[in-house]
Amino acid sequence: MPANTSQIIYTGFFKPLADFVVALTVFVILSPIFVIVVCWLTIANSGKPFFFQRRPGKNEKIFKVIKFKTMNDRKDKHGNLLPDADRLTPIGRFVRKTSLDEVPQLLNVIKGDMSIVGPRPLLEEYLPLYNPIQKLRHNVKPGITGWAQVNGRNAISWKQKFEYDVWYVDNIGFLLDFRILLLTVRNVAKSEGISSGTSVTMEKFTGKE
């Protein structure tokens, strides 16, 4: 948890207010692009531009995260979904490369479920797999971008990811958040860390790290 008075004030008042103002402003500015991407994905995904998924937020409270749907629902002859690489559509690949798939989460920030900066909200099924240290990532709101994202995103191991997340929780503050935002802009421009190296998405967490 925040260790000093300045962190408590920042996380309790300034950060939520800044999150709301920034998220609303950016969403309005990006709304033309948002509409265009929705139209493209509606065509590519048979009328399904979004997907909603239950994710744990602050204090492990469950909310529904909203993202652009970058993969179709194609299945094999046995009715199982094809591998991610086979379902990633051309427009979906572009949306992921440019990080536009994160734009709808601005609505989660406006609603108050997420922050602009914080540990990424992971799958609900991972909750029983965390060790006591890894659970500390839920002491703050999850974010659209975070310390782990600007230090490798999907290209780093789960162990490294959790270490970055917990370090962020211990050191949360305005200057750190501002630094993360600047690094995020740089990484998006360079399209760094989108893939894990062995998959178009991050491999599932098994609780062994």
pLDDT given at position 38: 93
| Greatest pairwise CA separation for the chain in angstroms | 59
Q: Does 103 score more than 80 pLDDT?
A: yes
Per-residue pLDDT reduced to its tens digit, 17-50: 999 999 999 999 999 999 999 999 998 888 889 9
Whole-model pTM: value is 0.85
What average pLDDT score do residues 177-192 get? 86
State percent of the chain over pLDDT 90.
61
Per-residue pLDDT reduced to its tens digit, 132-146: 999 999 999 999 999
Neighbours of 48 (CB within 10 A): 12
pLDDT band at 192 (very low <50, low <70, confident <90, very high): low
Mark out the alpha helices in the chain (DSSP H runs): 5-9, 15-44, 84-87, 90-97, 105-111, 158-171, 174-190
Cα torsion angle, 30, 66, 137, 147, sign: negative
189's tokens: 């421009």
CA distance 64 to 43: 24
Neighbours of 180 (CB within 10 A): 22
Range with the lowest mean pLDDT among 76-80, 104-108, 175-179? 76-80
What average pLDDT score do residues 173-183 get? 96
pLDDT band at 85 (very low <50, low <70, confident <90, very high): confident
Instruction: Give the residue carrying structure tokens 């750190």.
Output: 176
Q: Are strands 115-117 and 143-145 parallel, antiparallel or unpaired?
A: parallel
For residues 202 and 92, the model is more confident at: 92
Are 180 and 150 within 8 A, CB to CB?
yes
Per-residue pLDDT reduced to its tens digit, 112-166: 999 999 999 999 999 999 999 999 999 999 999 999 999 987 778 999 999 999 9
Are 44 and 92 within 8 A, CB to CB?
yes
Q: Does 185 score more than 60 pLDDT?
A: yes
Amino acid letter, residue 182: L
Neighbours of 25 (CB within 10 A): 11
DSSP 106-149: HHHHHHTS-EEESSPP--GGGGGG--TTGGGGGGS--EEE-TTG
Q: Does 198 score more than 60 pLDDT?
A: no
Q: Does 195 score more than 70 pLDDT?
A: no
| pLDDT, the chain, mean | 88
